[in-house]
């Protein structure tokens, strides 16, 4: 168990602190709206990473091997949610093109209203 935990830490540390898309998102939004305004997005990002890490640690993948129908449902729901977010992003880009800028909180972005 210790070796798996160390492997997970070695994997997650560069993910959290490398200049990937998440960090670029925070840097761009921080420059545009200020650091304080990006705190909800930052908290949401790190909570999601924490939930994934906990799921891995609790053996979520092993549970999904025993319930393939549930795993298939989760894949479809996740795919639908990503498509929904893409649609919301597209609508937001169109609104911004019309000059309608808005700053949104964590929950508003979560369900994209």
Please check whether residue 106 is in contact with residue 41, taking contact to mean a CB–CB distance below 8 angstroms: yes
Domain ranges of the chain: 1-58, 70-113
Of 112, 108, 104, nearest to 32 (Cα)?
Answer: 104
Looking up tokens 């540390």, which residue turns up?
13
Specify the 3-state DSSP secondary structure of 90. Answer: helix
Tell me the DSSP string of 45-107: HHHHHHHHHHHHHTTHHHHHHH-HHHHHHHHHHHHHHHHHHHHHHHHHHHHHHTT------HH
Q: Angle between the 39-57 and 2-17 helix axes, to the nearest 10 degrees?
A: 160
For the chain, the C-alpha Rg in angstroms (whole number) is 17
pLDDT digits over 94-108, tens only?
666 666 666 555 565
pLDDT digits over 5-36, tens only?
777 778 777 776 777 777 788 888 889 888 88
Interval 34-46 mean pLDDT:
85
């Amino acid at each position: 168990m210790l070796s798996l935990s160390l492997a997970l830490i070695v994997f997650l540390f560069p993910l959290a602190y490398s200049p990937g898309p998440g960090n670029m998102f925070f840097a761009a939004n921080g420059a545009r709206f200020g650091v304080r305004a990006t705190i909800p997005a930052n908290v949401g990002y790190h909570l999601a990473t924490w939930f994934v890490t906990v799921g891995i640690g609790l053996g979520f993948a092993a549970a999904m091997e025993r319930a393939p129908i549930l795993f298939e449902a989760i894949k479809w729901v996740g795919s639908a949610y990503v498509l929904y977010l893409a649609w919301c992003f597209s609508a937001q880009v169109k609104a911004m093109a019309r000059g309608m800028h808005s700053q949104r909180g964590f929950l508003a972005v979560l369900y994209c209203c």
